[in-house]
Amino acid sequence: MTKLSYRQEIMAEDLEEVPGALWSIVQFDNGRVYQPPRLIRAAVGIDPPGGSAECGIIVAGIGPCSCKGTTEIHGFVLDDRSLKGPPDRWAKEAVAGYKLFRADRIFGEKNFGGDMVEATLRTVDPSISYQSVSASRGKAVRAEPIAALYEQGKVHHVGRLDDLENEMISWQPGSNSWSPNRIDALVWVLTELMTGQTTYEPVIASVDPPPEPRRRSVFDDTLNEDWPKHFRLRRDGTGRRTLW
């Protein structure tokens, strides 16, 4: 039994609408898919742990989706690899997710750990593509645009992500004293993929056919030895040229 099922069936909690929460279980179930489309981009979001807390590690991507009748770019939450452990352990887990889903970047918060996150990740694999992100606003303010995308049906969970979903429906901004590490990692990666300043469009490679070779004329080069000897030009004194 999953944690969500336990809370619903054993604890008799109504998880569809938790007062003050930004998400509901109905949103996850309505948008859940079990096979993502061919993704345009994939990335990993990391929220570094403070002390003995969990390190939030979420893998997400964006791709075309026609669930609303027209094709548009939606977000797909692919995996929750969050864990509690020493830096070398969560760094290996993040890099493993980066390689498994062929992500093109890892986004990590630098407010708490500074350059520690990047340095730790590069001890595992120095070739990764990494970008630090800064929190200039509170957690709730950062999370609200992502919650709005869920309400619009533009974010889908791929399969069941019970631990992440349990945290999302339990966190009540302004009421909870604990830090939502999984939510922070989710917000980082979806913010950069779906609401960032840079837009990413699918690239369609095409090769134009080579131009057809221009047909040569006997009038182009009268001295070319490649032409048959019986083709000759004669001027008749009037400026006209006659082929004979």
* Dihedral over alpha carbons 117, 118, 119, 124 (to 10 degrees): 100
Q: Phi and psi for 185 in degrees, rounded to 5?
A: -65, -40
Overall size of the chain counted in residues: 244
Q: Phi and psi for 57 in degrees, rounded to 5?
A: -135, 110
Task: Read off the pLDDT of each residue in 54-72 and give the average, rounded to a whole number.
Answer: 95
> What pLDDT score was predicted for residue 229?
52
Q: Phi and psi for 62 in degrees, rounded to 5?
A: -130, 145
> What pLDDT score was predicted for residue 76?
98
Task: Report helix, strand or coil for 103.
Answer: coil
Output 90 or 215, whichever has higher pLDDT: 90
Confidence at 167, pLDDT banded by 50, 70, 90: very high
Domain ranges of the chain: 3-194
pLDDT tens-digit readout, 137-165: 788 888 999 999 999 999 999 999 999 99
> What pLDDT score was predicted for residue 139?
84
Confidence at 242, pLDDT banded by 50, 70, 90: low
Task: Report helix, strand or coil for 169.
Answer: helix
CATH class belonging to 3-194: alpha beta
Mean pLDDT taken over the chain? 80
